[in-house]
Homo-oligomer: A and B are copies of this chain.
Amino acid sequence: MPNYKIIVQYDGTGFSGWQIQPGRTTVQGEISRALSVITAQRVRVTGSGRTDSGVHARGQVANFNVKSRIAPDSMKRALNALLPSTIRILECQGVPDSFNSRFHALEKTYIYTLFRSPVLSPFLGPFCLHFPYPLDLERMQRAADLIVGERDFSSFTTRSDKNNHVKKVLQIRVLPRGELLHIKVRGRGFLRYMVRTIVGTLLEVGEGKRSPEEMTGILEGKDRSLAGPTAPPQGLCLWEVLYPDPNAPIPEAVPEGGDDE
């Protein structure tokens, strides 16, 4: 069965997140529904990971197998014709049967955006957290650097049954851009709410409520109550998901894949 890889962009405002749920409008649900119209089959769509309600994506990646053999460009056009305008398929390509967007994801980048001026732009409101308070960005970057590495992130996620909360964060950058502040987080994979809890905690550091050095203790304590609040979803955007070179042999499934934000 042909396997298609798609790059998906969505304005998460009106969706109950990525994952299909009965009675809710979700991104995965909308794509599955469009595919069932195109192929007259029930199609299972695999995403690189779930995004929560209200979280956006500039470069979510998904894949699906269908019985019909449809040219990738026709598939893309048919999907875009059937999907709501708040979900767009940017790219569609045929990939080897074995490709799995969840298990083969090598690296993900999330960007969290704050709007720092006193009056929130009516255009950017749905895509950022309004945060018009003073922030010490240098302290935030110092705290961020202490989080980077392969660590147990139990303090930055909700309690779950998973016994492994070890994730590898590759880089966190605090990037002021005019009225905006971006917090860019690159990692091998993330636990649920992990990026948003990192952001909430960094904001407390930036406001002077915590010292950057507390980060080490928060991580070591492995207790969610030690970290700051979970920043609200509308500021978060799944920016990019990287995969191994398609010409290289596909590696074994990596445990970092398949987690969620």
Name A's B-contacting residues (CB within 8 A): 9-11, 56, 76, 80, 85-90, 119-123, 125, 127
- Do A88 and B11 have beta carbons less than 8 Å apart? no
Q: Within the complex, which residue of B76, B85, B87, B119 is in contact with A89, where a contact is CB–CB below 8 Å? A: B119
CA A19 to CA B119, docked complex, whole Å: 23
The interface residues of chain B lying within 8 Å CB-to-CB of A90 are 119
Q: A11-B123, A56-B123, A76-B119 are in contact. List 5 more A-B contacts (CB 8 A).
A: A9-B122, A9-B123, A85-B122, A88-B119, A88-B122
- Do A87 and B9 have beta carbons less than 8 Å apart? no
CA A84 to CA B121, docked complex, whole Å: 12
The interface residues of chain B lying within 8 Å CB-to-CB of A121 are 9, 88
- Do A122 and B89 have beta carbons less than 8 Å apart? no
Closest 4 CB pairs of A and B: A11-B122, A86-B122, A88-B122, A88-B119
- Do B122 and A80 have beta carbons less than 8 Å apart? no
Interface of A is mostly: mixed
CA A255 to CA B125, docked complex, whole Å: 37
- Do B123 and A127 have beta carbons less than 8 Å apart? yes
CA A11 to CA B10, docked complex, whole Å: 19
Closest chain-B Cβ to A42's Cβ sits at a distance in Å of 26
Q: Within the complex, which residue of B10, B76, B125 is in contact with A122, where a contact is CB–CB below 8 Å? A: B10
**Central interface residue in A10, A76, A119, A127, by most chain B CB within 10 Å:** A119
- Do A85 and B120 have beta carbons less than 8 Å apart? yes
CA A122 to CA B87, docked complex, whole Å: 6
The interface residues of chain B lying within 8 Å CB-to-CB of A125 are 85-86
The interface residues of chain B lying within 8 Å CB-to-CB of A88 are 119-122
Closest chain-B Cβ to A260's Cβ sits at a distance in Å of 21
Closest chain-B Cβ to A94's Cβ sits at a distance in Å of 18
Chain A to chain B contacts (Cβ below 8 Å), 22 pairs: A9-B121, A9-B122, A9-B123, A10-B122, A11-B122, A11-B123, A56-B123, A76-B119, A80-B119, A85-B120, A85-B122, A85-B125, A86-B122, A86-B125, A87-B122, A88-B119, A88-B120, A88-B121, A88-B122, A89-B119, A90-B119, A123-B127
**Central interface residue in A76, A80, A85, by most chain B CB within 10 Å:** A85
CA A17 to CA B85, docked complex, whole Å: 23
CA A256 to CA B50, docked complex, whole Å: 54
**Central interface residue in A86, A90, A122, A123, by most chain B CB within 10 Å:** A122
